[in-house]
Amino acid sequence: MKVMFVNRFFFPDESATSQLLSDLAFHLAQRGLEVHVVTSRLDRVEPTRHYRSQERIGGVTVHRVWSSGIGRNSLVARAIDYLTFYLSALAVLLRHLSRGDVLVAKTDPPLISVVAALACKARGARLVNWLQDLFPEVARAAGVRFVRGPVGRLMKAWRDWSLREASVNVAIGEQMGRYLAPVDTATHSLAVIHNWADGDALRPMAEGASLLRREWGLEGRVVFMYSGNLGRVHDYQTLLDAATELRDDATVVFLFVGQGHGLRRLRAEASRRGLTNLAFRPPQPRDRLGALLAVGDVHIVTLAPGMGPFVVPSKLYGVLAAGRPVVFVGGVDGEIPAMLDEQGSGFAVRSGAVQALTPIIRRLAGDAQLRQRLGANARHAFEQRFSRPAAFEAWQRVIEIAAR
């Protein structure tokens, strides 16, 4: 038996889905399993970089398939990228899958689970869906129009069929699991495994200890930091309005490190408003992640309204590992507000509630002891529930169940 994964990105690409997949694939290979990954030849962070069609990395056999790479700024072009990846990946899966193998399908691109289910049926393999988000629900909540009509209903029907075909479906949050339970009628095949971070590489650092603060000219300021992709599923407007309210507070700075459609719009609007309390930096390599997360005295996590159980940003687990407080902006009935309340590690504010957000920012900026207490709670919650070894152990059980 071999374990195969399919996802659009894999090591050395440093996007979030790639990092999680790479961690798990290398771990399973180290445990003696035969592991293959079907992925693209593209790099999400560096679009001009291309990889070899096949190579072996860390005991993992990597099959890199051709797909177009034209869809960074257009939904139609992105759909072409997805379609070309579907076709190329299906050809490789049909060639390499055998009866009794386990195929783990992530959710990049959307609906790759449908392609994976077809390949498993054709080859007698077992399917595991690793649901990092739920499409088309995420697209509908983000306001993508074409998924609200018959096309969206058809996509959901395909997605639900692929879930029913799976041996195990893995949700990344309790609310996502409850949402999927009526679809996955064989409830014993539904598992909840949260994403993780490397708790050895990411450890709490004293405020101001990161050398990046000095390099970026942030010493003497309380840094409210957003790191990672800022896209269509995130709320940046509330943060922008809060920064406008606090423009005369010299102690507070908002730092954005990453890229994405929303970040470009945020930067342009901040410039138009003449705001000087926002700073921007490009994505940082993974080996600087510990120093990067320590730059923020408080970390900001956002989701657009209506995302609810459909997505849990993976950046949250790194922040918890780094022992930093969290301010969440989005729907207050979702997974993250419940986690922060249970852990005592931060605050949740409804999207658009600027008058509720600014007092929280002022309170956190003025109370170092409060930041320290919330950060200690965050690290404790991470060690109890979201460590990498615990996630790997849960994933090994899923692979064993699927194989049986």
Domains of the chain: 2-196+387-403 (3.40.50.2000), 211-385 (3.40.50.2000)
Measure the CA–CA gap between 377 and 394, rounded to whole angstroms.
24
Contact 109, 117 (CB under 8 A): no
Residue 336 is predicted with a pLDDT of: 95
Residues 183 and 263: beta-carbon distance below 8 Å: no
Q: Of all helices (H) and strands (E), which one includes residue 318?
A: helix 315-321
* Strands 222-227, 34-40: pairing kind: unpaired
Please list the pLDDT of the chain residue by residue as tens digits (404 residues): 999 999 999 999 888 899 999 999 999 999 999 999 999 998 776 767 778 889 999 999 999 999 988 876 677 888 899 999 999 999 999 999 999 999 999 999 999 999 999 999 999 999 999 999 999 999 998 888 888 889 999 999 999 999 999 999 999 999 999 999 988 665 568 999 999 999 999 999 999 899 999 999 999 999 999 999 888 889 999 999 999 999 999 999 999 999 888 899 999 999 999 999 999 999 898 889 999 999 999 999 999 988 988 999 999 999 999 999 999 999 988 899 999 999 999 999 999 999 999 999 999 999 999 999 999 999 999 999 999 999 999 999 999 999 98
Dihedral sign computed on CA atoms, order 60, 229, 130, 81:
negative
pLDDT given at position 188 = 61
The tokens for 1 are: 């038996």
pLDDT in the model for residue 63: 98
Helix axes 261-273, 237-245, angle to 10 degrees: 20
Q: Which pLDDT belongs to residue 208? A: 87
- A 10 A CB-CB count for 158 gives 14
User: DSSP letter at 288?
Assistant: G
pTM for the structure as a whole: 0.92
